[in-house]
Structure formats: structure tokens, C-alpha cells
Amino acid sequence: MSNNSIRTVEPLPPKPEGVPALTFGAFIYPQMDLLDIMGVLRVFGESHPRFNTRLILIGETMDPVVTDQQVKISPEMTVAEAPYLDYFFMPGGHGTADVIANKDLMKLIHKRIEDARWCLTVCTGAAILAATGLADGRYMTTNKAVWNQFIDFGPKIKWVKRARWVQDGKFVTSSGVSAGMDMAFYVISQLYGEDLAKELANWIEYTRHTDAEDDPFSDVYPENRDTPSGVVPTRNSSI
């Protein structure tokens, strides 16, 4: 597959015109993966004349959360109190199942995803999205290391096993941990242009995966189950 062939079905909604800064709400919770969230925030938090994003860390409560890697992070506001979010982003981690089991919290997350212009997930954050039912019938992916444990949260999702990331309409899901940075650069390339994505990647000295099917980790776990309709039709991107 060529480097300008991307895993996408319905196009990504365009960015609104005339908005000085887009809001990026990152949902944080206990036992989330540190790189899941920090890799994506490093990309979207960059300062650039063409790219202005306000990052907001939001939690179930205002209590600090401790990541899987022992780093404590504090939210700026709660899921219930946050303003309108252009992006709603959910990382993965060992605490994912606890989030899904929290029915009151899931109602708030459901509303946030529904209202947001774009919804992004990394790793098992896709299971939270899947559990809301809002992406039923859509193509998605998740972490290959825990694939079999988490795809059952979305029985109506078209799970794609070989994918660094998958974009289907407003929903953009990535594979595990570091794949979130490739997903983030993909979104920027689509909304702001490939030239800006390249510039930002060069600035942080990051070598991108620009082919969404370039997923070597899908071969590391041959025991992972195949799922119905788990191959995304490809189209050539404009970049």
C-alpha cells in the first residue's frame, strides 16, 4: 500500500472557519497510560501561527489521577463542567474497564462524544468509545497486545486488526500507546495540511508512520481474533 493510502471510510469533518482556537478535551482517569495521553498532547499542544489549540484536562472529579506509570496528573475541570469541546480524546490503560463500569460517568462521556466535532482514542480508549454505542457499525482499531480482551466491549464495531490507526467520520482510533502520535499527525495533516504535519514532526524529531496499514505489532500477536468486516476500504488521500 502506498504512503498516501489511508484507512478511512467517511471523511473527517472539516475544521470550523473563523474560530481562533479549537478546544481539545483530554479525559484523564486512574491507571491510564502515560504515553497514550502525553504523546497526543505533545502534538496538539504545539504552538504555531497556523495551529492554535487549547488543551483541557478533564476528569470525573477534580482529584488527581495516577497513571499506570506512577505519574500523578491533575484535571483542570470535570467532564460535567467542561465547556464545548471540538475534540474529545480518550487514552487507554489498565483503568479502562473501571471507566466503562461507571454508568454515571459513561453517561457524561456519551454526551461529550456526541457533542464533539471529533472523537479521538488511543489504545483501549477505543473500548470506552465502543461501549457508548455511538460508533456502532463503524470501523475502529485498538491495542493489539490486549485485542482479545477489549474488542468484546464493541460487538457491533467493525474492528480492524491490521491498522496503526483508523478514521471513520468523526471517530479516529489508534492502536497501542505510541500509535497515538501517528494518529495525531494524521488528523493535523487532514485539517491543516501535510506540510504542517511534516513541520511539527520534524520539530520534535519524530519519524511518523504515514501508512495506516503499517502496523508491525499486528503480527506480534497471531492469536488475536479476526472480526467480521475487519478490513477497511481504502481511498487515496489528498495529501
pLDDT digits (tens, 9 = 90+) for 10-53: 899 999 988 889 999 999 999 999 999 999 999 999 988 888 99
H or E, element range at 120: strand 118-121
Cβ–Cβ < 8 Å for 167, 186: yes
pLDDT exceeds 70 at position 229: no
Please report, as a single letter, which amino acid is at residue 4: N
Cα dihedral sign, 210-33-35-216:
negative
Domain count, the chain: 1
Return the pLDDT at 228. 61
Say how far apart CA 169 and CA 58 lie, in whole Å: 24
Return the pLDDT at 3. 40
Most distant CA atoms of the chain, gap in Å: 48
Domain residues for the domain of 13 are 5-236
Phi, psi (5° rounding) for residue 29? -155, 160
pLDDT exceeds 70 at position 1: no
Say how far apart CA 118 and CA 183 lie, in whole Å: 13
pLDDT, tens digit, for every residue of 64-83?
999 999 999 999 999 999 99
Calculate mean pLDDT across residues 109-133.
Answer: 98
Provide the pLDDT confidence category of residue 232 given band limits of 50, 70 and 90: low
Average pLDDT, the chain: 92
Q: Using alpha carbons, select from 23, 28, 85 the residue that is nearest to residue 58.
A: 28
Tell me, what CATH number does 165's domain have? 3.40.50.880
